[in-house]
Amino acid sequence: MKALPVDALPVAIIETLRAVLGEGNAALHEPCFQGNEQRYVQDCIASTFVSSVGAYVGRFEQALAEVTGARRAVAVVNGTAALQVALQLAGVEAKDEVIIPALTFVATANAVHYLGAIPHFADSEDQTLGLDPAALRDWLSTIAERSGAGAGRRNRHTGRRLRALVPMHCFGHPCDLDALLAIAQDYQLALVEDAAESLGSRYHGRHTGTFGLLGTLSFNGNKTITTGGGGAILTADMHLADHAKHLTTTAKRPHRWESMHDEIGYNYRMPNLNAALGCAQLEQLPNFLASKRRLAARYRDAFANAGLDQARLMQEPPGCESNYWLQTLILDERVADQRDAILTATNDAGLMTRPAWTLLHQLPPYRDCPRAPLPVAESLARRIINLPSSAGLA
């Protein structure tokens, strides 16, 4: 591979990564299929029930509920669909505002937009990379006003109802849920967790995605477990779970032969074929999580031995257990201008790294959305580098 001229910091980071990963290429995050995947998928094919009907969907939903501690889990086609339906079930309507972090994947905002609602961006905190409760409370104290008895709060600048709050557990690290739940209660906001990245993560012993009215998961190919494409809605409310199941199966009323649909629903049910893959993946989740924690420890030791004071590795917040979905290096602000040089050098060396997502308020579709001051999110976006994180690397 052609060597490129690089300065000292990119070289030192490559050497440190090599100390953990050895020689050769390393993907950012790739799935690991070492269990019953082929057997379950072949069984699904043999049954001929590969689409929206079949035993593996219910089996996968039950296993998810057991793993997360949720009372119910409803499997759907992807995490974005899960969040869209969860927000609808939480009462989000067209022209409502939904508070979400600016530092998140675009799907969080898209799910809001699909309902005709408006994303309202809030800042993140340095310790968790999730929504900053203190900054959010300060912001709401200036822009939220009562809109009438029992009607919640509205944005005094836009006149729109503030309807929901969506914490996203960034790279698998739990947010400060206690403080965010208190804000949701004080401002009459429905709290819906975007736990797309945090399967296996726990906040004070309790699984993420189970604190709000509803929570959502993703099983895309780059997640801790995968169903190829897929997601799930978690809730303790049996009525909401039943409604979620109904909405995501085209709102079709059960009948032996009639096709009667009693409301506008979605064709969002997870296919049985994907659920079969998910059942096998869930069986291996404890091993995946242990491997990712070992990888995090090896990175931590390697960077400590390297003596690099210009960067730090993201660690799980106090009182939390993170799944370390994506291992995250955070550059010091004084070397933030070297981020792209590090990304270029590492990727040229066959070590796949990437920056954080483009902040949502900087994307063309969302530039005019309401937002709080975002100094921390904007700083983090300049400094985050995700490192190779596959469970197989450990």
Architecture of the domain made up of 8-31+285-393: Alpha-Beta Complex (3.90)
Give the H or E element holding residue 65: helix 55-68
- CA–CA separation, 269 and 50 (whole Å): 12
CB 139 within 8 A of CB 162: no
Closest CA to 40 of 57, 65, 64: 57
Provide the pairing of β-strand 118-122 with 206-207: unpaired
pLDDT, residue 4, reads 31
Architecture of the domain made up of 37-283: 3-Layer(aba) Sandwich (3.40)
SS3 326: coil
The per-residue pLDDT of the chain, averaged, comes to: 95
Secondary structure letter of residue 107 according to DSSP:
H
- pLDDT tops 60 at residue 245: yes
- CA–CA separation, 276 and 363 (whole Å): 36
What percent of the chain stands above pLDDT 70?
A: 98
The torsion angles phi and psi of 164, rounded to 5 degrees, stand at -145, 160
- CA–CA separation, 241 and 2 (whole Å): 55
pTM, two decimal places:
0.95
Closest CA to 80 of 163, 171, 168: 168
Closest CA to 83 of 102, 58, 106, 51: 106
pLDDT, residue 256, reads 86
Q: In the structure, what pLDDT confidence band is assigned to residue 133 with cuts at 50, 70 and 90?
A: very high
- Taking only the tens place, the pLDDT of each residue in 314-336 is 999 999 999 999 999 999 999 99
Beta strand ranges found along the chain (DSSP E)? 72-76, 97-101, 118-122, 144-146, 153-155, 161-165, 190-194, 202-203, 206-207, 214-218, 231-235, 311-313, 320-321, 328-331, 354-355, 384-386
Average pLDDT over residues 323-350: 97
Q: In the structure, what pLDDT confidence band is assigned to residue 6 with cuts at 50, 70 and 90?
A: very low
Domain ranges of the chain: 8-31+285-393, 37-283
